[in-house]
A and B are shown apart, each in its own frame.
Chain A
C-alpha cells in the first residue's frame, strides 16, 4: 500500500512537471508588456529579465525558473498589478480569505449533505425521498452564481440581513467578518450539499439492499444498529474520499463567487492577473490550481485504498 502511494505521488509529480513546463513555455511565448522608455524602473526590469534568461531557449528559462524556486522559493516579481512585489508573498496574503470562506462552507455542508442523503435512502420511495431527490437534481444543475445573485438580491438587498460585499481587513474570526461572508458561504454550499446528498443516497440505497444487511437484521440487530454499524460504514468508503477531496479544494475557491462578493482571495488575484496580463502571478496561479486538482485526485485515490482493503489492487501492478 505504501509503495502504491509512493508510486502515485511520484507519478503525480511527473504529470505536474509536464503541465508546468507546457504552461511555462506557452506563457513565455506571449509578447512581453512594453516597458515605458523613460521610467527609471525599466532598466532594472530589463536586467532582471536578462538574468532570468528571457533571451535564452525556453528550456534554459524553465531550468532557471525551477532553480529559483528550489533554491530560494522565488516565484518572480509582479510586473504589472503589484509592481516589484514578490509574487509568492502577494499570493500567500490572498490565501486566508479564500480558505476561510471555503472552510466554513464545507464544515456545515458535509454533515447536512450526508444527513439528507441518509434520510432519503432510509425513506426510499416515500415523499421525503422524492422531495430530496428532486431538489438535489435541481440544485445540482443550477450554476453557483445563480444562487449568488439570488442571495445577494434577496438577503443582502431586499432583507438587508447581510452586507453586500465581504468586509475588508484581516480579522477573519470576528463576528462582523463572519456576517459578511455568510452570503458567499451560502452560495458555495448548495452545490456541495446536493453533491453529497446524491452520492450518499445512491451508495446507501445500494448497501441497504445487500445481503449482509439482511444477515445483520437476522442475527438480531435493530434497524438502527444495522444501519449505523454496517450500512453507513460501507457507504463511507465512497463518501470519505469525497470529503478529503473537498478539503483539498478549500484552497482553490471559486473565481466567480469571489468576484461577486469581492472576496480578496486567490480567485480574484488570478482573474486580475489574467485581465492585467501579469504573467508571473498567472504562472504561480496555474501551478497552484494544477497542484490542487492533481492532489485532490491523488488523495481520493489513495484514501480509497486505505479505507477499503478490497480496493488495494493498484499495489499489485
Chain B
C-alpha cells in the first residue's frame, strides 16, 4: 500500500470545532517566598536555631508576666542567692546550694541548731572533713573543720527585727490565721555568753562557744523567761515545747525587738514562699524575671532600631544607587564621616546632651540610628546598581515611569529580600552593642527597663566568685540568643539568595 494513494475521505480532522489551548500546568506554582521557605527548611541548623529563637522570644514576652515577680521586688536579704524552690529542694535541685569551707565545731553547732529550732535544716551534706592538730596550753589537741553544703535560704535562719506595736499585732494576727510561726522566743544575750550579734543561737553554750548538750545529745534551750523585759503583749501561737513562760520579744524604746524566722517572714511580706529558679542578683531580684525583662527590652529595642535603620538606609541607599554620579559621591562622603565616629563616643555624647531632655532610651536610640543605617544604605545602593541597568527598567522608563516609580515599584521590590534578611543579621549586632553599653554603665536603663542583660552581667561579674549563677544565666541567655540569631539570619540569607538555588540539590 502506498501512501500517495490514500483517498481524501479517509482523512479526518483531529478537532474541528474546538480551540486549542495551552494545557494548564499540573504542578503547583511556587512563589519566591515559598521557594525560600523550602530552602530554608532544608538547612537543619537554621531551623533548630529558629525554634530556639522562638523559645527565647516567648521567654522574653511571657516570663515577666508569669514569674510572680516584678522589677520592683527587691528582697533586702536574699541577695546573690542561688536557685531555690521549696517543692524541688528535697530532690536535690534548686535547693539554694552553697558550699561553705572551714566550718569549726562552733559554727556546725549553730547550723544544726538552726535546723533544730526552725525545722528547716540548712545543712545539705558535709562535703569534707579536715583534721588539724594545734597546741593548746602545751597539749596537742585535734580540731576538726568541715566543708559543708548549705541551703542559703534556710541558713539565713533567724534574725532580729524591731516592730512598732501596730506591726507587731498585725504579724501576730497573721500568725494566728495561717499557723506559720514567724516570731520565735527571745533569747537574752546574757544567757548565751553575751553574744548579741548572732540571733541564730537559741541554746545554752559552753564556755568555748560550742553548744551545751544534755545526756541525749540534744540542745538545751536558752529562751528568755524574763517577763519584766518583755515588750508588747504576745497572744499568738507558740513553738513546740513552750512551757508558756517563754518571752517572745524584748522592749526597745517605743518598739519591740524579736527574733523572726526570715523564711516565714518572707511569706508574710510577699504572700508566697521564695521561689527563685535561677537565683537572685545583687539587688535581691529574681534572675528568672530579670533576664526576661532585659531580653524583652533588648529585643524590642533591637527590632525598633533595625526598622528605623532599614527605612533610612533604604531611602538613602536608593537615592545613592539610582542617581549615581555626584549625588552618590556626596552622600557617600557624608556616610563616610558618620561611620568614622566611634560608637562609644556617639553614645556618650548623645547621653550627655540629650538624656536630660528627651530621656535615656530615645537618646540611646538616636545613637544607634546615627551610624546604624550606613550598612543598610550601602547594601541598598549595591542592589540598585545591580538592577538599574537591566532591560525591565529600560522598558518601564520608555513607557514613561517616573523616577520615584522606577525606584520604589520596580527596583526596590527586587532588592527587598536581600535587604530584609540582612535585618536578621543586624538585630544581634544591635543587641550586642546595647549589652556592651549597659554593661559598661555608659547608658543606665535600670529606671526605664527595670534591668538589662548588660546590667545583670556587670552585677554578676562583681560577685563572680560567690554567686556564679548571677553571671552564668545572663551570659548563657545572651550567648544562645546571639548564636541563634546569627544561624537563623545566615539561613535566611542563603534561602533568599537566588544564586544558591539548586546548588545543594
Contacts and interface: CB of A to CB of B under 8 A. Distances in A.
A219 to B, nearest CB: 29
Interface in B318-356: 336-337, 340-342, 344-345, 348-349, 352-353
Interface range for A: 35 or more
A19 B337 contact: yes
B180 interface: no
B341 A157 contact: no
B436 A256 contact: yes
A97 B474 CA distance: 29
Interface string B451-488: 00000010011001100100110010011001101110
Given A137-B483, A143-B478, A256-B440, A15 B345 contact: no
Contacts of A210: none
Given A16-B340, A138-B483, A149 B353 contact: no
A23 B104 CA distance: 61
Contacts of A23: 341, 345, 349
Contact of B342 (A27, A29, A256, A290): A290
Interface string B260-291: 00000000000000000000000000000000
Contact of B486 (A29, A140, A152): A140
Interface stretch (A34-42, A238-246, A267-275): A267-275
Given A26-B349, A27-B349, A290 B479 contact: no
Contact of A143 (B336, B353, B432): B432
B498 interface: no
B344 to A, nearest CB: 7
B349 A153 contact: no
Contact of A137 (B345, B475, B479, B490): B490
A146 interface: yes
Contact of A290 (B340, B465, B475): B340
Nearest to A260: B461
Contacts of A141: 428, 479, 482-483, 485-487
Nearest to B341: A19
B161 to A, nearest CB: 35
Given A138-B483, A142-B482, A271-B440, A150 B345 contact: no
B479 A255 contact: no
Given A137-B487, A274-B348, A26 B436 contact: no
B450 interface: no
Interface residues of B, number: 37
B475 A286 contact: no
B482 A255 contact: no
Interface in B486-504: 486-487, 490
A22 interface: yes
Contact of B436 (A15, A29, A143, A149): A143
B425 to A, nearest CB: 10
Contacts of B353: 26, 29-30
Contacts of A290: 340-342, 345
Contact of B475 (A27, A150, A289): A150
A19 B340 contact: yes
Contacts of A142: 478-479, 482-483
A140 B487 CA distance: 11
15 contacts: A15-B336, A18-B337, A26-B353, A140-B486, A141-B428, A141-B482, A143-B435, A143-B478, A153-B468, A157-B464, A255-B440, A271-B442, A274-B344, A275-B441, A289-B345
Given A142-B479, A157-B464, A290-B341, 16 more contacts: A16-B340, A19-B337, A137-B486, A141-B482, A141-B483, A143-B432, A143-B435, A145-B436, A146-B479, A150-B475, A153-B464, A153-B468, A157-B465, A256-B440, A285-B345, A290-B342
